[in-house]
Chains A and B, each alone.
Chain A
């Protein structure tokens, strides 16, 4: 099985790293884009470590995702400079536009994920939003909403 081969390879490197679970999870996420439940079960059996240890670490650090991310990633900077220039308002509008339910960051159709991150270091362009990794400086809810609309159209067309 393809997934298990990959996981075997990760375990091999994990053993070299003196059994660092964070490393193991980072490699897993790099390979699959998130931490699949099956991967944790596999590691648990192979290494004799309870799944709760893995989940305990995966949920502690914000880097780890337990669900796959959407095709398009919108990343809103919530650093202090962006906050004072209205990032809260932008995020509220984007959540409404994408119809994201409370506590969920990905749309039901798997098209969009809205992430919130602390300072991206580009405070001079605050508020900053990344659309699939590209910086949109001095962003506004209107501008980003428009871009989401055209991304949607591109997908349909």
Chain B
């Protein structure tokens, strides 16, 4: 008998946005219509999977047939019928829709641990996860391992917290275990707040059971009988799939009393975050679960000693927990064979910005930035040159193009003035202004500052005011030094991680792109052509065809000219919105 044919339709965040649902429905319809070849159809299943990674080519569809995998890109419902007819029934892949070599180079240097089953399993079906060996690790742990065995294994794997701070996970569990008290809690932090990152969302939407399995193992190691997943309400699909996964796991007896028939009781409850970046901080997150304003408090006492409702509490990030089952299954030695001396294993990144292959990637720690950008990412999108890579979001910094050979691990990035962070990686090109980027991040942290401590509340506001006036051409001599002094003050005196890291984007951009700040302040110019108040728009007479597109697009009525004759912009009326620049097909609008 022939192997079963499997069709997987990407329904990650981008897959859904590109119309994944309609594509899956089209497959189901086309398959049922192809009933003449009943044996083929009966032998074929089509289902949704989580993020397949290469979001830039969505909707991606994988067809597994007789041991051969064919991947289709940019799939739309109207080409599905042909794929079913020619490929599923006829056995001949549709060449023109097949993905090119980009797929191989995109995956070539990746190592998938957290994401290995994301894109293989149906996230809404627990049997699909069990079918590939899911929940085997936790079963083994509950029957054959002591909690100390688990802690020892995780410690020797070298796994560090993937939420950003990089605290050793095994050590955290050990501290939680040693903490006295009979009631303890474990919390999964799914309050992904970095504005350029969606790894946790993709993991929960793609393989929620891997997070649940990791959480049960963690709870057993720590001695917790109650767990919470603190997840953003802004991720409705992730919440829905997680809820479904929890229900399915409970029905199977994997959660509740006597987990897997053992003597261990454990239950998980979802807590919806209400939208506050600061709640990623552990003590703020705890306050939020308790129903209060999510404001951090000073540490110690640390949550492992006094956390949720004053009880010992271990908080782990989604990606951290999704690593656990694999480490137990394959061993600490296998996991620590990836990565560098002090940064073991793999890390998931959301690779975005001015890059060809935007998407979700997982790489071994220690890979170079260059390999990520050019081998996996396929290089810079558009005609600009690489300028910098921003990592760590509002708490991080940038790595300039000249340092592209830098190894991506906790230590190297920290030395370079940035951080690994939760996993946002935004590629910037020459058309990105580093003063504007610094302002963008400070704007974010300033708005998200909880207001409890003065250095963060007032300091980020002052930083923003200075950056704002620089981008508006009102920068003053001494502003750079003021920014540096203020940044240092906010860093060392703020109460929590938000304030302590908020000035990082400013300091990092000043370190590598000081000349750009100077150009804004002294010459009143934005070299990248981004800062609106510093630009002037002009129509090049020689190439203007007088088509009138800019005239129609201008919301201020600043453009005049006769049909088929060169137009002009009145600089006194122009509001510098850039609409004319965007609509001109002849590149006749120049900005300076």
Contacts and interface: CB of A to CB of B under 8 A. Distances in A.
A155 interface: no
Given A62-B274, A135-B17, A119 B197 contact: yes
B18 interface: yes
Interface stretch (A3-11, A37-45, A66-74, A121-129): A121-129
Given A80-B424, A92-B577, A124 B14 contact: yes
Contacts of A80: 195-196, 352-353, 390, 393, 424, 426, 440
Contacts of A137: 17-18
B350 interface: yes
Nearest to A145: B555
B578 A26 contact: no
Contact of B18 (A25, A84, A125): A125
A144 interface: no
Contacts of A126: 352, 358
Given A19-B291, A122-B55, A125-B17, A81 B352 contact: yes
A60 B293 contact: yes
B516 interface: no
Interface string B221-264: 00000000000011100000000000000000000000000000
Interface string B256-277: 0000000000000000111111
Contacts of B58: 124
B64 to A, nearest CB: 24
A6 to B, nearest CB: 19
Given A22-B288, A121-B201, A78 B195 contact: yes
Contacts of A56: 293
B78 to A, nearest CB: 18
Interface in A7-55: 18-23, 25-26
A20 B269 CA distance: 14
Nearest to A120: B13
A4 to B, nearest CB: 23
A85 to B, nearest CB: 8
A40 B197 CA distance: 35
B298 interface: no
Interface residues of A, number: 42
A81 B55 CA distance: 13
Contact of A26 (B233, B235, B426): B233
A84 B432 contact: yes
A125 B288 CA distance: 33
Contact of A123 (B198, B273, B275): B198
Nearest to B426: A80
A24 B131 CA distance: 40
Nearest to B234: A117
B202 interface: yes
Given A80-B196, A80-B390, A118 B444 contact: yes
B23 interface: no
A20 B292 CA distance: 8
Contact of A140 (B234, B290, B292, B582): B582
A152 interface: no
Given A63-B275, A78-B195, A124 B291 contact: no
Interface in A67-125: 78-81, 83-85, 89, 92-93, 96, 117-125
19 contacts: A22-B291, A61-B275, A61-B276, A62-B276, A63-B275, A64-B274, A78-B195, A80-B195, A80-B352, A80-B393, A81-B358, A84-B428, A85-B353, A89-B577, A123-B55, A123-B198, A125-B14, A137-B18, A141-B579
Q: Which 10 A-B pairs have the closest CB atoms?
A: A80-B196, A121-B198, A61-B274, A121-B13, A20-B291, A124-B55, A62-B275, A123-B352, A81-B352, A118-B195
Interface of B: 13-14, 17-18, 55-56, 58, 193-198, 201-202, 233-235, 272-277, 288, 290-294, 350, 352-354, 358-359, 390, 393, 424, 426, 428, 432, 437, 440, 444, 450, 553, 555, 577-579, 582-583
Given A89-B578, A140-B582, 17 more contacts: A60-B293, A63-B233, A63-B234, A79-B195, A80-B195, A81-B358, A84-B428, A89-B577, A93-B555, A119-B197, A121-B198, A121-B235, A123-B350, A123-B358, A125-B17, A125-B18, A135-B17
